[in-house]
Amino acid sequence: MASSSSFLASILLILLAVCWVFNACNASSQGSTSGFSMKLMHRDSPLSPHYQPSVTSEDRVRAMIERSISRARYISSIISGTSYSDDDSDGYSGGGGVYTSIASSPSSSSSSPTSAPAPSNINSKVIPNNGDYLMELEIGTPPVKIAAVADTGSDLVWVQCKPCDKCYNQTDPIFDPNKSSTFNGSVSCNDEICLAIPTSDCTDNHCDYLYQYGDGSLTTGTLARETFTFSSGSNKKQQGNASSSFPGIAFGCSHKSSGLFEPNVDGLIGLGGGGASLVRQLDSSIDGKFSYCLTPYTENTTSTLNFGDNALVNDPGFITIPMARRSVTFYIIKLKSIAVGKDTIPNESLDTNIIVDSGTTITFIPDIPLNKLIDDLSKIVNLTRTNDPHNFFSFCYSHFVKDPPYPFPDITFTFDKPPHGASIVLTPMQAFIHVSDHVLCLAMLDKNQAGISIFGNVAQQNMHVGYDLNTNMLSMAPANCSKF
């Protein structure tokens, strides 16, 4: 009898051990809601592979603004190509990320949507992987480290793969699927991820894709599945060098690419709301939740990207705002008003939608509230007005970087949330930007320069921003992101 009990106990221990290992190695299929965090690098940080010590801070800011306007124009071109009707109160009925609305082969480049007119002082083209924040992760078994743009404005996850018929010049070694024991290159054309990509095609029941950008750049290849590993490093919520691995993540294995891709980026991680995005694929493991906390771009430190339980935004002063349900890719809320001092400026634009985007630097708002905001600030701020040397901004002051911080008034953005709205305060650091060593400008532009309103990442510095795709709610809270 004792022997039988001992045998059953041994069997039970073995089963428990197997279950523990299975859950640890296959978290994505178990619906686990445990959280994990990882680091984000601003592309202009010395920690970034993009960093060039010889480039001046003024040139970096100029490039940031050029990228921001280019990106905003491109997002606008995507949205303008989607369906819209008078009864679509949300305005934006879909997105789909950074691909054209119809493309089945490289020859379809002429069908890409028309971009909004470029401001006269902008000569830069849309750079495909032009987001401001990079993330490092590992792919395959054994894991291979890659650096990719983290993009809340697109869905597809893709990296360059061997064999590469025509690849852009990539600094890191190109991922070789033949050296990974967990690579699965046969994703069916009926797979839900394949069906979520409008630019997918079918060859022998293998899902192919083509992602085309506004400047004619493209990446094309085969949809595959692979194990993705995210290493946390050390942070407040997760100590040590813990890592989380998720098998079976669908991604674009790019075998051909051309255009303005940058050599220090190996691909793109889509964090949008569409079915092919990383967030949607991890849904059962992270309960549809992710967040980020962006450190000021002038600080030489990393930001944090959180998933699952770690993405809960409950910091002091947090607000929650409903997102537009009609949008597929983009995260859209409604701007109700802007306030400075004792003056509240209503947003009376016919289109009150504003996209919350981590990849766009500048905030774009309608011209009427922007002009009224500038008028109010000019009556409060006692500094000498000056011109932006690069002609981007219309509201600037003479103020040296090394001068003591000037006590600019806070600017309050109120977003639509019945019955009274939800408000977040922008400090001077979140509202103004030094465009040179001695010129400080309001980091906001007229939406007519882009075609859409965007709540940019300067405004989101030192702010914990969370997305819950299951409840369709966005959260914001003031935070010290360097200590997050």
Catalytic residue selected from 44, 132, 151, 215: 151
Q: Tell me, yes or no, whether 151 and 232 share the same domain.
A: yes
Question: Which residue has tokens 């033949």?
Answer: 178
Q: Tell me, yes or no, whether 215 and 66 share the same domain.
A: yes
| pLDDT tier, 262 (very low <50, low <70, confident <90, very high otherwise) | confident
Strands (E), 54-199: 133-139, 144-151, 158-160
Q: Which residue has the higher pLDDT, 86 or 217?
A: 217
Q: Is the pLDDT of residue 60 over 90?
A: no
In this prediction, residue 73 carries a pLDDT of 86
Q: Tell me, yes or no, whether 241 and 363 share the same domain.
A: no
Give the three-class secondary structure for 76: helix
Q: Is the pLDDT of residue 283 over 70?
A: yes
Residues 256, 402: Cα–Cα separation, whole Å: 47
What mean pLDDT comes out for the span 193-210? Answer: 88
User: pLDDT tens-digit profile of 125-141?
Assistant: 233 445 688 899 999 99
Choose the final residue of a domain: 307, 342, 361: 307
Portion of the chain with pLDDT greater than 70, in percent: 79
Task: Please give the backbone phi and psi of residue 245, each rounded to the nearest 5 degrees, phi first.
Answer: -110, 140
Q: Is residue 336 part of a domain?
A: yes
Q: Is residue 57 part of a domain?
A: yes
Q: Tell me, yes or no, whether 319 and 406 share the same domain.
A: yes
| pLDDT tier, 382 (very low <50, low <70, confident <90, very high otherwise) | very high
Q: Is the pLDDT of residue 83 over 70?
A: no
Residue-level length of the chain: 484
Q: Tell me, yes or no, whether 229 and 337 share the same domain.
A: no
Q: Is the pLDDT of residue 207 over 80?
A: yes
Q: Tell me, yes or no, whether 133 and 224 share the same domain.
A: yes
User: pLDDT tens-digit profile of 289-333?
Assistant: 999 999 998 888 889 999 999 999 999 999 999 998 766 899 999
User: pLDDT tens-digit profile of 416-435?
Assistant: 999 989 999 999 999 999 99
- As for how many domains the chain has, the answer is 2
Catalytic residue selected from 132, 357, 376, 416: 357
DSSP string, 415-466: E--TTT-EEEEEPHHHHEEEEETTEEEESEEEGGGTTS-EE-TTTTBTEEEE
What mean pLDDT comes out for the span 331-355? Answer: 95
Q: Is residue 258 part of a domain?
A: yes
357 is catalytic: yes
User: pLDDT tens-digit profile of 16-36?
Assistant: 343 333 333 333 333 344 789
What mean pLDDT comes out for the span 111-130? Answer: 33
Question: Which residue has tokens 């809270």?
Answer: 477
Q: Which residue has the higher pLDDT, 249 or 243?
A: 249
Q: Is residue 410 part of a domain?
A: yes
Q: Is residue 265 part of a domain?
A: yes
Residues 135, 408: Cα–Cα separation, whole Å: 33
Q: Is the pLDDT of residue 70 over 90?
A: no
| pLDDT tier, 344 (very low <50, low <70, confident <90, very high otherwise) | very high
Q: Which residue has the higher pLDDT, 48 or 184?
A: 184
In this prediction, residue 22 carries a pLDDT of 35
Q: Is residue 359 part of a domain?
A: yes
Q: Tell me, yes or no, whether 212 and 155 share the same domain.
A: yes
90 is catalytic: no
Q: Tell me, yes or no, whether 182 and 212 share the same domain.
A: yes
What mean pLDDT comes out for the span 190-213? Answer: 86
Choose the final residue of a domain: 307, 331, 356: 307
Domain that holds residue 405: 310-483
Q: Tell me, yes or no, whether 332 and 201 share the same domain.
A: no
Choose the final residue of a domain: 283, 307, 331: 307
Q: Tell me, yes or no, whether 104 and 150 share the same domain.
A: yes
What mean pLDDT comes out for the span 373-393? Answer: 96
Q: Is the pLDDT of residue 234 over 50?
A: no
What mean pLDDT comes out for the span 116-128? Answer: 31
Q: What is the mean pLDDT of the chain?
A: 81
Q: What is the CA radius of gyration of the chain?
A: 23
Residue 238: CATH number of its domain: 2.40.70.10
Q: Is residue 94 part of a domain?
A: yes
User: pLDDT tens-digit profile of 31-58?
Assistant: 344 789 999 988 777 776 667 778 788 9
Residue 405, preceding peptide bond in cis (omega within 30° of 0): no
Q: Is residue 24 part of a domain?
A: no
Give the three-class secondary structure for 338: strand
* Minimum mean pLDDT range among 99-113, 156-170, 349-363, 392-406: 99-113
What mean pLDDT comes out for the span 451-461? Answer: 96
Q: Highest mean pLDDT range out of 217-226, 246-255, 263-272?
A: 246-255
In this prediction, residue 57 carries a pLDDT of 85
- Indicate the pTM of the whole model: 0.83
Q: Tell me, yes or no, whether 409 and 334 share the same domain.
A: yes
What mean pLDDT comes out for the span 437-457? Answer: 95
Q: Tell me, yes or no, whether 329 and 385 share the same domain.
A: yes
In this prediction, residue 50 carries a pLDDT of 64
In this prediction, residue 328 carries a pLDDT of 83
Strands (E), 332-388: 332-340, 343-346, 353-356, 363-365, 385-386
In this prediction, residue 124 carries a pLDDT of 26
Q: Is the pLDDT of residue 410 over 90?
A: yes
